Amino acid sequence: MQSGQSELLGEVAQYYSSKLAEHGETARGVDWNGPESQTLRFEQLCRILDDTCDYSLNDLGCGYGSLLDHLRQRPGNVDYQGIDVSQAMVDAAIKRYARQPNARFLQAAAPDRVADFSVASGIFNVRLERSDDQWFDFIQATLDVLDRHSHKGFAFNCLTSYSDADKRRDYLYYADPCQLFDICKRRYAKQVALLHDYGLYEFTILVRKCS
């Protein structure tokens, strides 16, 4: 990992560790507004999954592991790996899911295995003091990580550049959905879906590597 990206990830880890310390294992503890929007977000990401079979999944930026609860309510059995740059988040996840079968957590910037699917929720939002160019480079590098560690496909979300001006915050990054759709279509797979119709100031992209 380049030193610049290592420094960036250190800043992100510190930010989310502080949120967890302030709000605990809640939606606000991973910097979301509340549980309702978090569930809606999970539903969009999970559209990448095949409901009829067992599967493995990497959750990049897993936080305290709340996606696992959502996955356990879906058809099939998941072999889950949660990955986060924040050691505090990983420690909380390990404690929370200590008795869960087929669940493992790793403090790292990337998975240590190739899974059927990978997802990333919210990790592209908080840029802090980074410039647009620096943050976009980070997004592209992370999409490469998702691609390399996914056999069947991956999904991710971003805040949208179509957000109302008065809703924007300087420390957040608002991505161009058309630009990221084009990158995914050209680099990763022919089957790519852009979801921008679920009522939040964000979008989700699904990349299907196997039809």
d(CA 176, CA 39): 23
Q: List pLDDT tens digits, range 134-164.
A: 999 999 999 999 999 999 999 999 999 999 9
Is the predicted pLDDT of residue 80 greater than 70, yes or no? Answer: yes
Cβ within 8 Å of residue 104, ≥6 positions away: 80, 81, 82
Provide the whole-model pTM: 0.89
For the chain, domains (ranges, CATH) are: 3-208 (3.40.50.150)
d(CA 110, CA 119): 12
Rounded (to 5) percent helix, strand, coil in the chain: 40, 25, 35
- pLDDT value of position 14: 78
Q: List pLDDT tens digits, range 17-73.
A: 777 777 666 655 555 566 788 899 999 999 999 776 899 999 999 998 999 999 999
d(CA 126, CA 130): 9
Is the predicted pLDDT of residue 3 greater than 50, yes or no? Answer: no
- pLDDT value of position 26: 64
Contact between 118 and 146 under an 8 Å Cβ cutoff? The reply is yes
Structure tokens at 127: 């840029």
